[in-house]
Amino acid sequence: MIRIRNIGFCYPDGNRALNDISIDIEKGSNVAVVGANGAGKSTLLALLVGLHTLLEGQIEIDGKAVRKDSLDEIRKMVGFVFQNPDDQLFMARVYDDIVFGPRNFGYSAEKITEMADTALEIMKIGHLKDRAPHKLSGGEKRNVAIAAVLAMNPEVLLLDEPSSYLDPKSRRNFILAMERLPHTKIIATHDLDLVLDLCDRVIVMSQGKVIADGEPFKLFFDEDLMERSGLELPLSLQTRK
Ligand SMILES: Nc1ncnc2c1ncn2[C@@H]1O[C@H](COP(=O)(O)OP(=O)(O)OP(=O)(O)O)[C@@H](O)[C@H]1O
Ligand SMILES: [Mg+2]
Question: Could you give phi then psi for residue 56, rounded to 5 degrees?
Answer: -140, 155
Each of the 241 residues of the chain gets a pLDDT tens digit; together they read 999 999 999 999 999 999 999 999 999 999 999 999 999 999 999 999 999 999 999 999 999 999 999 999 999 999 999 999 999 999 999 999 999 999 998 899 999 999 999 999 999 999 999 999 999 999 999 999 999 999 999 999 999 999 999 999 999 999 999 999 999 999 999 999 999 999 999 999 999 999 999 999 999 999 999 999 999 988 888 875 4
Q: What DSSP element (H or E) covers 60?
A: strand 56-61
CA 31 to CA 101: how far, in whole Å? 24
Ligand 1 atom closest to Cα of residue 188: 22
Whole-number Å distance, alpha carbon 84 to ligand 1 midpoint, is 13
Detail the DSSP E strand segments found in 88-198. Answer: 156-160, 184-188
Question: Could you give phi then psi for residue 67, rounded to 5 degrees?
Answer: -145, 165
Whole-number Å distance, alpha carbon 12 to ligand 2 midpoint, is 18
Whole-number Å distance, alpha carbon 203 to ligand 1 midpoint, is 17
**Domains in the chain: ranges and CATH:** 26-38+82-237 (3.40.50.300)
CB 90 less than 6 A from any atom of ligand 1: no
The one-letter amino acid code at 86 reads: D
